[in-house]
Amino acid sequence: MPDDSRPRMDDPARDAHIPLPGEQTAHDMAEAEDHFLNPDTDLASNRLHAAGGICARCGQPLGPHDDVRRTVRGTYQHEDCGLP
């Protein structure tokens, strides 16, 4: 029997790319970073609006252009509600 110092590669998946744990997450984070560094991205467009609702804090109606936040109870209030 000849002494062959090379390891045998009988595995049919030897050429398959198997990602390391966290590799996809790293790629996703890099893409997200590129997205947020893009000057054409409008981060203000991610505002929450609840037109037609009632503010849980002051009781005033929420208009279509009012920025709102969701409370723990699931109701909405003005982002900058005038009540203390």
Range of the domain at 33: 23-78
pLDDT of residue 61: 92
Q: Is 12 contained in some domain?
A: no
Is pTM beyond 0.75 here? Answer: no
Nearest Cα to 50, choosing from 81, 82, 9, 29?
81
Distance of CA 31 to the CA centre of its chain: 11
pLDDT of residue 66: 87
Q: Is 9 contained in some domain?
A: no
Q: Is 41 contained in some domain?
A: yes
Q: What is the 3-state secondary structure (H, E, C) of the chain?
A: CCCCCCCCCCCCCCCCCCCCCCHHHHHHHHHHHHHHHCCCCCHHHHCCCCCCCECCCCCCECCCCCCEEECCCCCEEECCCCCC
Tens-digit pLDDT string for the chain (84 aa): 566 676 666 666 666 666 666 767 777 777 776 666 666 656 666 677 788 889 999 999 998 888 888 889 889 998 888 765
Question: How many domains does the chain fold into?
Answer: 1
